Structure 1
Amino acid sequence: MNFLIVITTFFIMEAMTWLIHKYVMHGFLWSLHKDHHDHSHEGHMEKNDYFFVIFAVPTIILMYYGTIQNFNHWFYIAIGIALYGMAYFFVHDIFIHQRIKLLRNTQNPYLLAIRRAHKQHHKHTGKEKGECFGFLWVPVKYFKLFFNKINK
């Protein structure tokens, strides 16, 4: 049962990411997310990196509360959120934005589709008219771009 809670939470986080990215990061907290799109920051850190703390604090609280309650469902929900956060960091910060140079020349269709969808998201430097707000779910059209390229 606990494993099911972790996996379900992980996948629910994709929907939550889409909603938070579209309506919070491109909404009332655009001031923190803006430098991620227009690259107006200096150095390696962005204001956007504060979202790590914003999302980590509730997860840590849930994990703590679940721990003192004999590892109840809140603990396993926190584990699912934390695993999603780790996946997000590895794919978004390391793979897509190359903060650490890994998988630069991958030919994996899924990873290439994620990278293409994210590029489409970043082509808009303003907070309006965005697209591809999710993270792990990639619209089919980005896979088609890869497979059309191979078939030519």
Structure 2
Amino acid sequence: MSLPLGILLFIATILGMEIFAYAAHRWLMHGPGWFLHASHHRPRTGHWELNDLYAVIFAIPSITLIAGGVQLGWGDWATWAGAGIAGYGAIYAGFHDVIVHKRINHRYLPKSDYMKRIIQAHRLHHVVETKEGTVSFGFLWAPKPEDLKAELKRRGHAGVRAPVGSFRD
């Protein structure tokens, strides 16, 4: 496979992973996989949470494809696709774990409209602490925060976390 075609496959895989991640987040993590993902919607008490097992689970296809392409003769396509999955994982870890959830302390302040939008959309995703009623499931693409706020309001703020220091009836 030529280098330009390999790079194109790498980029296409990253973009495809956003579609896969959206579906997995919406229908797996907020569905039958909630038993792992619920830990991510609660305050973290240590460095790790049960939800981190998803990173291990989703790394398996990447590792398998890279090993298949490099060691088992599956072809260059497998190596590039596996690297694209790993690339998406690196983007996810940098954006989600470092920038949004500050699992590594930093002073980054978003300046671009794009970064402000996806960070705010992800924070709006986390105001809901229940399995249902959550908005915004993507990581590289997100609806406008105004639309997400309107959707939460339309749903009657079901599952929305109470502000710190308040009591719910």
Give the TM-score range, shorter chain.
Answer: 0.7 to 0.9
Q: 1:18-37 maps to which residues of 2 (within 5 A)?
A: 18-37=22-41
CA drift of 1:70 comes to 6.6
Q: How many residues align?
A: 143
What SS does the aligned partner of 1:28 have? coil
Q: Which has the larger radius of gyration?
A: 2
Once superposed, what is the RMSD of the aligned Cα atoms?
1.9
Kindly report structure 1 stretches of 4+ aligned residues shifted beyond 3 Å. Answer: 140-143
- Structure 1, unaligned runs of 5 or more: 146-152
> Identity across aligned pairs (percent)?
36
Equivalence for 2:155: none
- Structure 2, unaligned runs of 5 or more: 150-169
Q: TM-score, normalised by structure 1?
A: 0.87
> Which structure carries more helix by proportion?
1
Equivalence for 1:89: 93
Q: TM-score, normalised by structure 2?
A: 0.78
Equivalence for 1:54: 57
- 1:2 maps to which of 6, 25, 43: 6
Residue type at the aligned position of 1:67: V
Distance 2:25 2:78 in 1: 24
Structure of higher RCO (CA pairs closer than 8 Å, 6+ residues apart): 1
Residue type at the aligned position of 1:99: R
Residues 124 and 130 in structure 1, CA contact (< 8 A), matched pair in contact too:
yes
